[in-house]
Amino acid sequence: MTIERIIRSMAGFFVLLSLALGVEESPLFVSRWFLAFTAFVGLNLFQSGFTGFCPPEILLRKLGCKSGCGSGGGQ
Residue 72: inside a domain, yes or no?
no
Confidence label for 68 from pLDDT (cuts 50, 70 and 90) = confident
Check pLDDT > 70 for residue 49.
yes
Residue 75: inside a domain, yes or no?
no
Residue 17: inside a domain, yes or no?
yes
Q: Is 63 helix (H, G, I), strand (E, B) or coil?
A: coil
Residue 13: inside a domain, yes or no?
yes
Residue 39: inside a domain, yes or no?
yes
Q: Which domain holds residue 20?
A: 3-62
Residue 41: inside a domain, yes or no?
yes
Q: What integer pLDDT is reported at residue 75 of this predicted model?
A: 43
Q: What integer pLDDT is reported at residue 74 of this predicted model?
A: 46
Q: Which of 44, 27, 28, 48 is nearest to 36 (CA)?
A: 44
Q: How many CB atoms lie within 10 A of CB 75?
A: 10
Total domain count, the chain: 1
